[in-house]
Amino acid sequence: MALSKPKLTTCLWFENQAEEAARFYCSVFKDSKIGRTAYYPDAGQDIHGKPKNSVLTVEFELAGMPFTALNGGPMFKFNEAISLQVPCKTQEEIDYYWSALTADGGAESQCGWLKDKYGLSWQVFPDFMGDILAGSDRAVAARVMNAFMKMKKFDIATIEKARRG
């Protein structure tokens, strides 16, 4: 299936799990789909070292955002300098994404950050956080930040309590 041609696409470099990862991410996010898959040809095997007809790239879309998963080899790994953000409206959404993305070897971190089983970093957070932190009431922002800095997975009830003072 051909996906729309956006101006920008995020390319995610995997050692050899591009197809598996694309399918996993599409299973987690609604309104997602797999697009075209490209395969390594005979050419360049002395450089890329990948077997002929093994998966080169998989195009996929998560909630309307395009991605390409690349099987590029073990040279590069994900790190926290780049993360994907998942703003959530409810605690149930936060719980769902947190659980799905940390499953099967993912790892929790601080302040709504986690790594999935492929090592990709995500931020799962209440969608109203930006309004609080950029708001004019700096005392509210400070109370909320003080509350969530102690959290791994965000707890909306605790954040709302800090917001109210």
| Domain of residue 65, CATH code | 3.30.720.100
What's the domain range around 20? Answer: 10-71
- Global pTM reads 0.91
**138 in the same domain as 67:** no
Q: Quick one: tokens of 73?
A: 């080899």
Instruction: State the Cα angle at 38 between 34 and 44, rounded to 5°.
Output: 155
**Domain-embedded: residue 2:** no
- pLDDT for position 3: 64
**66 in the same domain as 87:** no
Q: How many domains does the chain have?
A: 2
**88 in the same domain as 137:** yes
**61 in the same domain as 109:** no
**Domain-embedded: residue 124:** yes
Q: Quick one: tokens of 133?
A: 């932190």
The CATH code of the domain that includes 139 is 3.10.180.10
**153 in the same domain as 111:** yes
**152 in the same domain as 116:** yes
In the predicted structure, residue 20 carries a pLDDT above the cut 70: yes
**160 in the same domain as 99:** yes
Cβ contact 132:144 at 8 Å: yes
State pLDDT tens for residues 111-129: 999 999 999 999 999 999 9
Residues facing residue 70 across a β-bridge: 13, 57
The predicted model gives 85-111 an average pLDDT of 97
Q: Do the bridges between strand 113-115 and strand 107-108 make them parallel or antiparallel, or are there none, so unpaired?
A: antiparallel
